[in-house]
Structure 1
Amino acid sequence: MAKSSADDEELRRACEAAIEGTKQKVVMSIRVAKSRGIWGKSAKLGRGQMAKPRVLAISTKAKGQRTKAFLRVLKYSTGGVLEPAKLYKLKHLSKVEVVTNDPSGCTFMLGFDNLRSQSVSPPQWTLRNVDDRNRLLMCILNICKDVLGRFPKVVGIDVVEMALWAKENTPTIPKQLGNQQDGPVEVAVAEGDMKVTVEKELVSQAEEEDMEALLGTYVMGIGEAEAFSERLKRELQALEAANVHAILENVPLMDEVLQGLESATNCVEDMDEWLGIFNVKLRHMREDIESIETRNNKLEMHSVNNKSLVEELDKLLERLRIPSEYAACLTGGSFDEARMLQNIEACEWLTNALRSLEVPSLDPCYADMRAVREKRAELDKLKSTFVRRASEFLRNYFASLVDFMISDKSYFSQRGQLKRPDHADLRYKCRTYARLLQHLKSLDKNCLGPLRKAYCSSLNLLLRREAREFANELRASTKASRNPTVWLEGSTGSSQNVNNADTSTVSEAYAKMLTIFIPLLVDESSFFAHFMCFEVPALVPPGGLANGKGGPNDNDDGNDDDLGILDIDDNDSKSGKSTAELEALNESLRDLLDGIQEDFYAVVDWAYKIDPLRCISMHGITERYISGQKADAAGFVRLLLDDLESRISMQFGRFVEEACHQIERNERNVRQVGVLSYIPRFATLATRMEQYIQGQSRDLVDQAYTKFVTIMFVTLDKIGQADPKYADILLLENYAAFQNSLYDLANVVPTLAKFYHQASEAYEQACTRFISTIIYYQFERLFQFARRIEDLMYTITPEEIPFQLGLSKMDLRKVVKSSLSGVDKAIATMYKKLQKNLTSEELLPSLWDKCKKEFLDKYDSFAQLVAKIYPSENIPSVKEMSELLASM
């Protein structure tokens, strides 16, 4: 057998060297393998579960009269040297458990009660063989008993086996070696103590006395084993002879017992024969009973089935029965208002009867029965008859209602009296048949198409008649003087006064037309959508108004669209709307309302003829109504408003085009002088347009401004090009007039502000050109001489310039004498020429100031050139010239 690592002296010395300085003595050291649960069947060999070589060392430390015991774990460093890894105090050892998953029994765990993380499983220690394991554990247990005075809990190993192993493996060591101080003696003494401890634990004093007494009864003073064996043999022979003698004495009793057994056997055989006979009879009886039970079960099943069949047939017959009162009502009943409740009940019964004969409600096995097919055909015939009769009645009813209202002239607007259309009575009469239409839809959806067309064609006549009479009376009762469209003509006349006439009644009339009819058309669209069973959401919420404005005049009845009915079919709900349904509704609304737009167009055209600028107000009114139309089903009303907006924009566009042509005609006239007539007229027009905007139609007006001003500026440039001599004067006067007339509006209108700045730049450019022309006219030789000097300074040095042809000092004196000898008269001539050419007197002071400043700047440049090129020459200084100009 290989030597145990517990006897390895080198290992013990390595351990002592590793814990040197701790004042601890190594009692035992042994090599082990450390792992964490690698013996489990489901365990996976990971990096943290691989066995690692370690050394367990048990050490003690004396502290006064007490001795402390430790369990040290040492690991091998990179160089193979042992170093401390962990330290456990044996006073905290609570459990010693041998792992049962290890079939060799060489793996155990040590449980300590002071570990911080109890959720982490303690390490498992594996030794080479069971002897090493027992040797280590016995050493730990003895130290716990001697040092701590208690034992830890031992799990997975028998203490008796441990005691037997300790008894067999305790070495015999002379007592004389007990006083030696080396390590092995301490181990032997510990193991000897261990033996005594285990024996004392196995057998108590009382048990030992009982065992000695028992052995004494068998020994009986015989000291040798051979004599004891001979005695036992003699006693055995004596006992066997006594047993044979007892058997021979009991033979007569045995014979009696045998006879009793034979008679009992005969009785048993007779009983077996009788039982066989009874078994046959019972088998036959059991077969008869089973046959009877089978027949009874079949009869009972037939009875139950027949009862169920009768019940099902009764239910089916009840479904197939047609009540006579419903049949009479469906085939020939009246549709008067008093009879509508009976008609609705008949429709509900017919709908339920047809539904009950369909497969979801009816068992599929009944669907092909002859009686069911015949009854279904009869119900279909009833349905078609009733649908035909009801549809014909409703078509005639709608036409009669409208004819009655059209025939009454007092219902419409008359001369001197505007009549607001009132459809409350019409809708009340139609609501009587709303439930009927719902049932007709559930019975036959195809019948709704002709009914919708009939309703639309009848009501369309009424709506168009109402709109025509209202529009005619509205125009007739509105008093407004007509304004001509000649706004920007060049000729002057009394039209300017006409343009100032108040035409607000025109736009008020248009607003009244929309206020009356747009909510009416929206309400009619909503009522039609619900009355004719379209699967669309409500156009107007209860109590709401279509145009987004409140007031008693906007809507007579906010709940006109509420028909007071519930959905009959769960599938016909508002949430189930589809694109196809919306398309069908909008197509019907076109039939209902088409043609009424002509009367709105007539009002727009009438208003345009009276005052084209009122198109701005009407455009803003229309925009407000468009923003209030949100419902999908009000498609035609939204299209009508869009068309009105387009028509108003088109009419206003005509006005803008005509005004632009009037501006362009100015260039064909004879030579233009002074401020053109369309400049101040445009300011008046813009002021009027801004008054009509009222917060709306900003884009429409801005586009008109852009066209007007663009044409005005282009025309002004063309007129100026026709006479280049006076072009700058014409431009600066007209651009100045444009700025003066639009100063206030440009501060609040961004579009006009842009053109104001454009005119300001053009004015400055024209002023600069005009002033330069006047200055050069009087002082051309002086400044021409300066320009020649400036041109030569790019090529030659200033010292060489006086030697050039025409630029000598003599030439300079001639130019100065001819130009500046009468400079005051020349300047006065400039002022007169400026005054003569200008037609706008208010521009003269600012232009003269610009002229003097421009001349002084040019003369300053000339003086600097002379001082640089001709330093010895004297000319009038800039200060003298400035004083002269200031005195002019």
Structure 2
Amino acid sequence: MTAIKHALQRDIFTPNDERLLSIVNVCKAGKKKKNCFLCATVTTERPVQVKVVKVKKSDKGDFYKRQMAWELRDLAEVDAKDASKENPEFDLHFEKVYRWVASSTAEKNSFISCIWKLNQRYLRKKVEFVNVSSQLLEELPKAEESVPSGESQSVAGGDEDALDDYQELNAREEQDIESMMEVCEYAISNAEAFAEKLSRELQVLDGANIQSIMASEKQVNILMQLLDEALAEVDTIEGKLSSYEEMLQSVKEQMDQISQSNRLIQISNTNNGKLLDEIQFLVNYMDLSKGHIRALQDGDLSSPKGIEACINASEALLQCMNVALRPGHDKLMAVKQQQHLFSELRDTFARRLTNHLNNVFVHQGHDQSSTLSQHTAELTLPKHSPLHRDLLRYAKLMEWLKNTHREKYEGLSRTYVDYMTRLYEREIKDFFEVAKIKMAGTTKEAKGKFGLHGSSGKLTGSTSSLNKLTVQGSNSRRSQSSSLLDMGNMSASDLDVADRTKFDKIFEQVLSELEPLCLAEQDFISKFFKLQQHPTITPPLPEMEDSDGGVPSRMPPQAEHRHSMSSEKDMVRLMMNKIFQSIETELNSLIALGDKIDSFHSLYMLVKMSHHVWTAENVDPASYLSTTLGNVLVIVKRNFDKCISGQIKQMEEVKISKKSKVGILPFVTGFEEFAELAETIFRNAERRGDLDKAYVKLIRAVFMNVEKVANESQKTPRDVVMMENFHHIFSTLSRLKISCLEAERREAKHKYTDHLQSYVINSLGQPLEKLNHFFEGVEARVAQGVREEEVSYQLAFNKQELRKVIKEYPGKEVKKGLDNLYKKVDKHLCEEESLLQVVWHSMQDEFIRQYKHFEGLIGRCYPGSGITMEFTIQDMLEYFSSIAQSH
């Protein structure tokens, strides 16, 4: 073990300026035995550091290496496991517990004893030793032996050998010994002679030392005398220092007292500063000036200066009442008194303000009522801007009342609504009476028309004569009441464009007067009562119900967004509904009157109402005006759809005369007039889609009923009825260029062309009837499989029969037949459409085509026969031209 100790000291600890004091061979408890060494070391430099170092042999086994080190001051406990029995196990409690098993109990005890001595000597914090024998725990000697120069002190002076069996020579000692041994060459070969020489030299040196000491006795005496004097001076200085210390002690006590007093003064100043801050806080935030108190108690609420003073005072009072008191302030008597004063001032001013505003409402109401007579004869609504301007001066006071006295604020709101409801009801009623009078007209003729018709568009007299329309001759066609212009069962001569323009202007004037009135009142309510009126979500334009009477695809805006609106928005809406509760009723009544006078008015109303709804939505989607007009727009759209449905029903009920030709059907010309007027009304309109849907329904009904009348016609051929009416429809659609009816325009052209061709072919078969029948038989034989050159051998179609048929139609006879055909066509066709020349020219082309076809058949079926027609193509052209010119 000693050799290992020396090796560790030399290889590991000496390079680190450390001394190895104790060593123990250990292994970890409960694991495979991997031996290592625990070493107790101290540093050679001050301050002394004591460590426990774990040293382990390298894997190759040729040298030792330092693995881990702990400071002794970090050691909390040493547990020897058993104090009475020998036990090699022990624990060291650093930041964690390390369990060790020593190679022998003696090594363990020696190591623990060294740790105990190092702990007693160098550490203030004593380590706790558990299960350690008292014999091992010995006190260190009080006397400490100094260690050689350059080395640290030993653990215990008297026990140096116990802690360190070997002391290494320092560099100087090694040098002296080497120089001495060099002088004596036989020092190594003859140690005894070398020792004797050293002994003799030592004796010589001792004698020299004694002689030197005896020679310096006088200097020693002088030195001792100086030491005695120095000791006397030291005593004197110590006495003075003691007196100074006593004086300083008294000064220290006085300074302590002064420091204590200063600390108390500082605490007092701090408390006084905090108290001053609290007082300033209460004074600054809970003190109301006398001027504000006078304004709240006796301020003039009728003058602008008085109102401004009351506004400032009310705001100052509200700030004082809403100040955030700190904990404990509410228990102060002064604070309670101020709060009581503020409550009294608040209640007093709230009563004064409420009474004054009630009087203002009544006073302004009387002044406004006096001006109603000025507007009774005009189609205008009184302006309330002066009333609003006067009341808006109190807007901030209303906001104060809303925040302080909610009940009085709501009471004023109800009072204002009740007063304004009565005022607006009178104004709106008178306004709509004037509108109805102007709409009905002042002439007796207009009044007569107003009294004749109901809202359903039926005459109070004989309705059957108009519901069951009859088709008369072409000369009296324009006098019939069967066109679409008769939207309300009134004749076209009764209601002209000027009447409808007048109605359009009146209806536009009504809407133009209502719009600024409602918007101004809603804006005033939101500002005066401090209510939010603009919603966060913009509702879309309300969808109207389809023309087939289905339910609307979207609810009105006020129902769709009711859950998303705040209570203040609801309050604005409720106030506006209450104030203007008569507007929707009066508008519906006016619309019913317009529809009663003329169902065509629904077109004007749909366009105007849609435009105003769109405008109101852009200004404020949540306004009462946009909501109300949206509801009324639904009614207008229903009237429009009912008007279209009524016209379709009249088409279906139309009857034709059996004694006269049909010509252009009344509902065809009526659709033309309807489309012309609708295109004028709906130019650049927002709801063009509604008109397009109506166009499609009407044109399909027109198509269907034209075919129905054509099938039922007895006097006029079906092809003529179809040709003339579809030509008229095609011309109308081509002229108006209605984009949504482009497919119907092409269909009308197709039907017109087909029926023109059919009529021409059928009509041409009559002048050359036998010739047509003969060649039809020839074509039939060829179709049955007979070769064309063999047709002449058929008995009924031989050359003799062909010559006989051709002789029956000489040029004179053909011209006579064509003249009769022209007269017949002229009887079939009507004058309005002017299709006679078109039909005659088509017949000419068809006749020429047939002539060429007949000649071709003759050439193919009767080759070399020399048979030709009695007339030529040039003869036919002269016939057609002369007949057309003669008529």
Residue 440 (structure 1) aligns with: 401
Residue 231 (structure 2) aligns with: 265
- Deviation per CA, 1:534-563, whole angstroms, max 9, x where unpaired? 234699xxxxxxxxxxxxxxxxxxxxxxxx
Q: 2 CA distance for matches of 1:320 and 1:737?
A: 90
Correspondence for 2:318 among 329, 344, 351: 351
Residue 160 (structure 1) aligns with: none
Secondary structure of the residue that 1:432 maps to in structure 2?
helix
Q: 1 CA distance for matches of 2:619 and 2:684?
A: 25
For 1:263, the aligned partner's letter is: E
- Distance of aligned partners of 1:582 and 1:332 in 2 relative to their CA distance in 1, 3 Å threshold: same
Residue 171 (structure 1) aligns with: none
Secondary structure of the residue that 1:876 maps to in structure 2?
coil
Shift, 1:310, TM fit:
4.9
Shift, 1:264, TM fit:
1.0
Tell me whether 1:533 sits opposite 2:525 in the alignment.
no
Residue 774 (structure 1) aligns with: 763
**Higher deviation after alignment, 480-489 or 710-719:** 480-489
Percent of aligned positions that are identical: 16
For 1:851, the aligned partner's letter is: M
Tell me whether 1:515 sits opposite 2:512 in the alignment.
yes
After TM superposition, the structure 1 = structure 2 runs for residues 598-617 of structure 1, keeping only pairs within 5 Å, are 598-617=585-604
Q: 2 CA distance for matches of 1:606 and 1:516?
A: 19
Residue 576 (structure 2) aligns with: 589
Tell me whether 1:848 sits opposite 2:832 in the alignment.
no
For 1:363, the aligned partner's letter is: R
- Distance of aligned partners of 1:821 and 1:609 in 2 relative to their CA distance in 1, 3 Å threshold: same
Tell me whether 1:759 sits opposite 2:748 in the alignment.
yes
2:535 and 2:569 in contact (8 A); partners too: no
Residue 39 (structure 2) aligns with: none
1:781 and 1:815 in contact (8 A); partners too: no
Residue 666 (structure 1) aligns with: 654
1:434 and 1:531 in contact (8 A); partners too: yes
Shift, 1:272, TM fit:
3.4
For 1:500, the aligned partner's letter is: D
- Distance of aligned partners of 1:719 and 1:320 in 2 relative to their CA distance in 1, 3 Å threshold: closer
For 1:401, the aligned partner's letter is: Q
Tell me whether 1:636 sits opposite 2:628 in the alignment.
no
> How many residues are aligned here?
606
Q: 2 CA distance for matches of 1:529 and 1:401?
A: 19
Give me the CA root mean square deviation.
4.6
Shift, 1:591, TM fit:
2.0
Q: 2 CA distance for matches of 1:317 and 1:516?
A: 56
2:364 and 2:387 in contact (8 A); partners too: yes
After TM superposition, the structure 1 = structure 2 runs for residues 795-810 of structure 1, keeping only pairs within 5 Å, are 799=787, 808=794
> Which protein has greater RCO, CA pairs closer than 8 Å, 6+ apart?
2
After TM superposition, the structure 1 = structure 2 runs for residues 63-212 of structure 1, keeping only pairs within 5 Å, are none
Secondary structure of the residue that 1:667 maps to in structure 2?
coil
For 2:849, the aligned partner's letter is: D
Q: 1 CA distance for matches of 2:837 and 2:287?
A: 111
- Deviation per CA, 1:392-432, whole angstroms, max 9, x where unpaired? 543454245324533x26545234x5555132331233133
2:851 and 2:873 in contact (8 A); partners too: no
Residue 883 (structure 1) aligns with: 874
Residue 807 (structure 2) aligns with: 821
Secondary structure of the residue that 1:534 maps to in structure 2?
coil
2:317 and 2:342 in contact (8 A); partners too: yes
1:615 and 1:648 in contact (8 A); partners too: yes
**Higher deviation after alignment, 312-321 or 340-349:** 312-321
Q: 1 CA distance for matches of 2:268 and 2:835?
A: 124
After TM superposition, the structure 1 = structure 2 runs for residues 728-747 of structure 1, keeping only pairs within 5 Å, are 728-739=719-730, 742=732, 745-746=735-736
Tell me whether 1:316 sits opposite 2:282 in the alignment.
yes
- Distance of aligned partners of 1:433 and 1:810 in 2 relative to their CA distance in 1, 3 Å threshold: closer
1:656 and 1:704 in contact (8 A); partners too: yes
Where in structure 1 are there 5+ consecutive unaligned residues?
1-225, 227-239, 540-576
Q: 2 CA distance for matches of 1:688 and 1:873?
A: 66
Shift, 1:342, TM fit:
4.5
- Distance of aligned partners of 1:819 and 1:736 in 2 relative to their CA distance in 1, 3 Å threshold: farther
After TM superposition, the structure 1 = structure 2 runs for residues 408-807 of structure 1, keeping only pairs within 5 Å, are 408=370, 410-415=372-377, 417=378, 420-445=381-406, 447-476=408-437, 479=442, 482=446, 490=471, 493=479, 495-500=491-496, 502-503=498-499, 504-536=501-533, 579-629=566-616, 630-632=618-620, 635-667=623-655, 670=658, 673-675=661-663, 676-693=665-682, 695-696=684-685, 698-723=688-713, 726-739=717-730, 742=732, 745-746=735-736, 748-751=737-740, 755-777=744-766, 778=769, 779-789=771-781, 791-792=783-784, 799=787
2:668 and 2:729 in contact (8 A); partners too: yes
1:421 and 1:466 in contact (8 A); partners too: yes
Residue 326 (structure 2) aligns with: 363
For 1:710, the aligned partner's letter is: R
Q: 2 CA distance for matches of 1:818 and 1:273?
A: 185
- Deviation per CA, 1:782-837, whole angstroms, max 9, x where unpaired? 343354255346xxxx75x7669x98386353663454333443575365245315
For 2:322, the aligned partner's letter is: R
Tell me whether 1:252 sits opposite 2:218 in the alignment.
yes
Correspondence for 2:797 among 796, 799, 811: 811
Secondary structure of the residue that 1:433 maps to in structure 2?
helix
**Higher deviation after alignment, 835-844 or 867-876:** 867-876
1:522 and 1:637 in contact (8 A); partners too: yes
**Higher deviation after alignment, 818-827 or 456-465:** 818-827
- Distance of aligned partners of 1:723 and 1:420 in 2 relative to their CA distance in 1, 3 Å threshold: closer
Shift, 1:343, TM fit:
3.2
Q: 1 CA distance for matches of 2:300 and 2:733?
A: 78
2:658 and 2:713 in contact (8 A); partners too: no
- Distance of aligned partners of 1:691 and 1:535 in 2 relative to their CA distance in 1, 3 Å threshold: closer
1:585 and 1:633 in contact (8 A); partners too: no
TM-score by length of 2: 0.58
Q: 2 CA distance for matches of 1:803 and 1:754?
A: 50
Q: 2 CA distance for matches of 1:850 and 1:350?
A: 99
Q: 1 CA distance for matches of 2:779 and 2:407?
A: 96
- Deviation per CA, 1:169-192, whole angstroms, max 9, x where unpaired? xxxxxxxxxxxxxxxxxxxxxxxx
Residue 301 (structure 1) aligns with: 267
Shift, 1:516, TM fit:
2.7
- Distance of aligned partners of 1:516 and 1:781 in 2 relative to their CA distance in 1, 3 Å threshold: same
- Distance of aligned partners of 1:410 and 1:446 in 2 relative to their CA distance in 1, 3 Å threshold: closer
- Distance of aligned partners of 1:320 and 1:775 in 2 relative to their CA distance in 1, 3 Å threshold: closer
2:286 and 2:321 in contact (8 A); partners too: no
Shift, 1:437, TM fit:
0.7
Q: 1 CA distance for matches of 2:415 and 2:607?
A: 37
- Deviation per CA, 1:817-864, whole angstroms, max 9, x where unpaired? 454333443575365245315233643332233223334434545555
- Deviation per CA, 1:754-802, whole angstroms, max 9, x where unpaired? 5444322211111222223234452442343354255346xxxx75x76
Where in structure 2 are there 5+ consecutive unaligned residues?
1-182, 184-204, 459-465, 481-490, 537-563, 880-887
- Deviation per CA, 1:481-521, whole angstroms, max 9, x where unpaired? 64787999657538443343621222222222233332122
Secondary structure of the residue that 1:497 maps to in structure 2?
coil
For 2:426, the aligned partner's letter is: R
Q: 1 CA distance for matches of 2:527 and 2:380?
A: 27
Residue 150 (structure 1) aligns with: none
Shift, 1:368, TM fit:
5.8
1:506 and 1:614 in contact (8 A); partners too: yes
Secondary structure of the residue that 2:508 maps to in structure 1?
helix
1:399 and 1:455 in contact (8 A); partners too: no
